[in-house]
A and B are shown apart, each in its own frame.
Chain A
Amino acid sequence: MTGFLASRALSLAFVLWLVTMIAFVVIRLAPGDPSAIMLGSDATPKAVAEFRAKYGLDRPIAVQYIAWLGRVVRGDLGTSIYLGRPVTTAILERLPVSLTLTLAAFVIAVMLGVTLGLVAAYWHDTWVDRAVSVVAALGLSMPSFWLGICLIYLFAVRWALLPSGGFVEPWVDPPASLRHLLLPAFALGYLQSGLIARMTRTSMLEALRGDFVRTARSKGVAELRVVVKHAFRNALIPVLTVTGIALAVLFGGAVVIETVFTLPGVGRLLVNAVVRRDYAVVQGTLLLVALWYVLVNIAVDILYTVSDPRVRLRAS
């Protein structure tokens, strides 16, 4: 385990370094400059030059990168040009929103996906199975922003059942928070539930055909116990992989949903930063998203050992 963690820490560092490079270069390759946003199109060349010098944008890109990387290593993600505050502060202010949304969407995705997958596998090749396939395919193919807009139209505008957007902290007013979270979490989670349902179905079908299931049934074990305890436990590893990926993807996917539902999260911070060419914020948030992906993947690897004792983690 120690070897495994050390190896993963190394690859984590490598991936993050790669992300810093890509994030740094790509945002600068886009035409446009923070000065166009901050000073306006009619800013004098002198004002633009002063602005660029103040934020170090006039230095060669490699010099800027090394200076920024040096600060990142010390835990300083820099200062937002537009917000005038440390990027870390800006991210931390918005992180609870994104985490709450991601976790709520994750719960919906897993509950819906696993349930649908189990149902489809158990009643495979029936109308139930086909109906689940349609629901899963819809989830896989529908853009989240479109689903979000449809949900707002139906549940907020047409039926006035739920708010159209906004965020209430769960620790401030739990019922209100739940009402505000339902639509965005569903819009985000539904997409991933399709993937989880399909994987659960395939994996469960295989498990249900296994000898150990036949043995359990012949021993007279209750059907529910056979499905959940025997078959599902054995079908878990591929499902766990997919749910792990889902958890990682959901955090990134929150970018669009946060904009549609007016949630003040990290995703919206990133979108605004790209539009404003707020380099430090773009780099900082991308680094955070990358860190999230890598950490979730490591956590999933560790969970393999819990779900299947035969799996042993090695450094390789």
Chain B
Amino acid sequence: MLRRLMTTVVLLLMLATSGASGAAPDRCPVQGGTVRAAMAGSPPTLDFVTSFAAQARDIGVYIYEGLVTIDGNYDAAPQLAERWTTSADGKTYTFHLRKGVKFHDGSPVTAADVVASVERFRAQSPRKADLSMVAGARAVGNGTVEITLSQPSAAFVPLMAYPGPAVAIMPKKLIEGVAAGKLPQSSVIGTGPYRLAEWIPDKHVHLERFAQYSPAPGDPSGYAGRRLACLEHIYFLPVPEVSSRVAGLESGDYDYGQNLPAETYSRLTATKGLKTVILKPYYEIVMHLNTQNGALKEWKLRRAIQVGLNEDEIMLAAAGDKTLYRLDPSLFFKEQYWHSNVGANRYDEHDVAKAKALVKEGGYDGSPLRIITTSDFQFIYNAALAMESQLRQLGFTTKVQAYDYPTMIDIFRKKRGDWDISYNAFSIRTDPGGFTFVLKSESGYQPYASKDVDALLEKALVERDRKARAKLYEQIQDILYKDIPMIKHGDLFGFDALRDRLQGFEPFYTTPRFWNVWSKDKR
């Protein structure tokens, strides 16, 4: 969930005008320099299209570009496509390519490359099901591509824009006949502002500036707009041990550290030569309630939990610092078009007396509520412990079991009778359709089934009017607040740190963006 749930939204396309960093320069104030970025993990492969891993996406966005990408509001925006049109029946999309764009090997980007790339994605990407509505793609001349759908879809363009893994455009001659995951290092050729210089597994990925890069027009926003490669070299170093990332930052071995622990926030903020940046939003922390097995089948007990929780206390425990979270009732982040306050009157009520009365009314028999959580993500673990202590104050008895993430997911999915409350974190940013799998009865993702929710989800997948679509997701949110199959605690922020010689850095998504970043002293 923590990976694929960086999924998807948007019906109508907002061109890349909104979002962050409008003040970014149109040329590099300083050209040159190197950044050594300590990352939480290592990409499993450089055949980015074939991997779900966040580490692959984080590096892939430097090397590759798609027809469209996401902007600062997580909406779809043009990248290699200059513009696109949709047929009246909503089944044919025509993308017009930007002129003069070259691959890292110097060859020009053609419609045939785009078709080959889309076809490879549809055949080999683990995200291929996302494009199951695509019937075919064909080149119309050298600079135009036509993609036809088997049925109209509100999610098609947002899903084309989703970056992990992206529908990356690669040279046809290098990808034809190449099996998934088998793209050789020499064929890692894209159109992005940086090209691959070297990959040594578990040691580093070295990128160097692509001098012939042709940036998209428009102000930088998210992954869209003008991307300038001011730094000459970028080294992504896998440093999975978080204390090593912190120590390396403090000692000067790294210029950037990703995903740092909250307890070091104040210290690193005060450290000379470093600056901290808050990644907002990062994840929303959610607990699932088992509506089909055990004590919480009883709605009154679920409602007792909902009404009794003090979300601020839970989020503080999860985030570790007041500046690293916010309370918000919506399924979607405030930064998204889809955000809604519907149901907010049932969020963070913190009415202990009412909760205790409901526990009684619900006929709670005193058997412990079994809470499963994971110690792999400290924020999830801490949230679970804080929540568990509040449950005891409400009159429940509890039993917490912490597992590594794969084990927790295994139990969550396969052993429905073994838990009452389970934990997870969502980060659904691009299209609200990303929640379809989580909420739809037939997916069996969580022990919850609602015909009303199912019907609304189906409608929302094809509704092309953005406003009407948002209304549908509002209704879904309202039902969830009433049925209580899950309770959102709040939005967690991430925090990274970098050397203050690096200028122009703005956090976005979970990927550090070093384009439009320059080194004051050219080092």
Contact B238 A262, beta carbon cutoff 8 Å: yes
* Neighbouring A residues of B353 by C-beta, 8 Å: none
- Chain B 428-482 residues near chain A, CB threshold 8 A: 437-438, 443-445
Residue of A32, A85, A261 with most partner-chain B CB within 10 A: A32
For the complex formed, measure the closest distance between the CB of B144 and the CB atoms of chain A, giving whole angstroms. Answer: 33
Complex Cα distance, B411 from A153, in Å, reads: 39
For residue B404, CB closer than 8 A to chain A, the reply is yes
The answer to whether residues A84 and B406 also contact, given A164-B244, A264-B200 and a CB cut-off of 8 A, is: no
Measured in the bound complex, the distance between the Cα atoms of B129 and A43 in whole Å is: 11
Q: Say whether B252 contacts A160, CB under 8 Å.
A: yes
For the complex, is B504 an interface residue (Cβ under 8 Å from A)?
no
Q: Decide if A118 is an interface residue (CB 8 Å cutoff).
A: no
Name the A residues within 8 Å of B200 (CB-CB): 93, 264
Contact status of A40 and B253, CB under 8 A, knowing A83-B44, A83-B201, A153-B247: no
Contacts of A38 in B (CB 8 A): 52, 126
Q: Hey, what's the 0/1 contact readout for B250-274 against A, CB within 8 Å counting as 1?
A: 1111000000000000000000000
Is A36 interfacial (CB-CB < 8 Å)? yes
Contact between B241 and A260, CB atoms less than 8 A apart: yes
Q: Is B378 an interface residue (CB 8 A)?
A: no
Name the residue of chain B whose CB is nearest to the CB of A268: B202
Q: In whole angstroms, what is the CA distance A159 to B239 when docked?
A: 21
**Which residues of chain B have C-beta atoms less than 8 A from A90's C-beta?**
201
Whether, in the assembled complex, B99 has its beta carbon less than 8 Å from a beta carbon of chain A, the answer is: no
A82 to B181, CA, bound (A): 10
Residue of A nearest to B50 (CB): A84
Asked if B409 and A157 sit within 8 Å, CB to CB, the answer is no
Interface membership of A198, Cβ < 8 A: no
Does B407 belong to the interface (CB within 8 Å)? yes
Assess whether A44 is in contact with B443, with CB atoms less than 8 Å apart: yes
Question: Which of B180, B200, B412 has most A Cβ within 10 Å?
Answer: B200
| Chain A hits for B438, CB < 8 A | 42
**Residue A166 at the B interface, CB < 8 A?**
yes
B201 touches A264 (CB 8 A): yes
Rounded to whole angstroms, the CA-CA distance of A275 and B244 in the bound complex is 19
The bracket for how many chain B residues form the interface is: 35 or more
Q: How far does the Cβ of B513 sit from chain A's closest Cβ, in whole Å?
A: 23
* Bound CA–CA A152/B244 (angstroms): 8
Question: Which residue in A153, A264, A275 is a CB contact (below 8 Å) of B404?
Answer: A275
Stretch binding the partner chain, chosen from B1-9, B26-34, B60-68, B111-119:
B1-9
Which residues does chain A contribute within 8 Å of B411, judged by CB atoms? 31
B218 within 8 A of A: no
A-contact 0/1 string along B386-414, CB 8 Å cutoff: 00000000000000000111110111110
A36 to chain B, nearest CB (A): 4
Residues of A within 8 A of B182 (CB): 84
A45 interfacial contact with B, CB 8 Å: yes
With a cutoff of 8 Å between Cβ atoms, the chain B residues found around residue A268 in the complex are: 202, 240
Known: A43-B4, A84-B45. A164 touches B248 (CB 8 A): yes
- Roughly how many angstroms separate A264 CA and B52 CA in the complex, as a whole number? 22
Q: Separation in Å of the B6 CB from the closest CB of chain A?
A: 10
Partner of B237, one of A30, A94, A156, A166: A166
Which of B2, B3, B182 has most chain A Cβ within 10 Å? B3
C-alpha gap A45/B47 in the complex (Å): 25
B406 pairs with A32, CB closer than 8 A? yes
User: Which of B203, B244, B405, B412 is within 8 Å of A167, CB to CB?
Assistant: B203
Contact B251 A160 (CB under 8 A): yes
In the complex, besides A153-B247, A269-B202, 16 extra interface pairs with C-beta distance below 8 angstroms are A31-B411, A39-B4, A40-B52, A83-B45, A84-B50, A84-B181, A84-B182, A85-B181, A261-B244, A262-B239, A262-B248, A264-B200, A268-B202, A272-B202, A275-B404, A277-B406
**8 A–B contact pairs at CB < 8 A?**
A31-B411, A42-B438, A93-B201, A94-B201, A152-B244, A156-B248, A272-B202, A272-B240
- Using CB atoms and an 8 Å cutoff, list the residues of chain B in contact with chain A: 1-5, 42, 44-45, 47, 50, 52, 126, 129, 180-182, 200-203, 237-241, 243-244, 247-248, 250-253, 376, 403-407, 409-413, 424, 437-438, 443-445
